[in-house]
Amino acid sequence: MSVAAVVVSFNRIELLRKCLTALQNQDHRPDEIILVDNGSTDGGPDMVRSEFPDITIFETGNNLGGAGGFAWGLEHAIARGHDAAWLMDDDAEPLQGSLGPLVQAMENADERPGFITSLVVNDAGEPNEGHLPDLSSDVSKQLKAAALGGIAVNSASFVGVLIDLRAAAGMPLPYADFFIWFDDAEYTRRLSRATFGVAIPGSRIYHPEKKNQADMGGRLFYYLRNNLWLRRLDPQPRTLLQNPVRWGAGMAVLALRQGAQAKDRKVWASSAFRGLCEGLAKRPRTIHPGQLISGAVRLGS
- Taking 70 as the threshold, does the pLDDT of residue 242 lie above it? no
pLDDT at 213: 72
Place 210 in a pLDDT band, splitting at 50, 70 and 90. Answer: confident
pLDDT of residue 271: 92
Whether the predicted pLDDT of 104 surpasses 70: yes
For residue range 150-164, what is the model confidence (pLDDT) as tens digits? Answer: 999 999 999 999 999
Query: Is the pTM higher than 0.85?
Result: yes
Q: How confident is the model at residue 85 (pLDDT cuts 50, 70, 90)?
A: very high
CA atoms within 13 A on the CB side of 75: 28
Number of Cα atoms under 13 Å in the Cβ half of residue 269: 3
Distance, CA of 90 to CA of 18 (rounded, Å): 8
CB 89 within 8 A of CB 7: yes
CA distances from residue 173 to 18, 20, 72, 169 in whole angstroms, order as listed: 28, 24, 9, 8
Burial annotation 39-58 (CB, 10 A radius, 16+ → b, else e): bbeeebbebbeeebeebbbb
Distance CA 131, CA 148 (A): 21
**Lowest mean pLDDT, pick from 48-62, 140-154, 257-271:** 257-271
Sign of the CA dihedral 19, 20, 21, 25?
positive
What average pLDDT does the segment 192-218 reach? 90
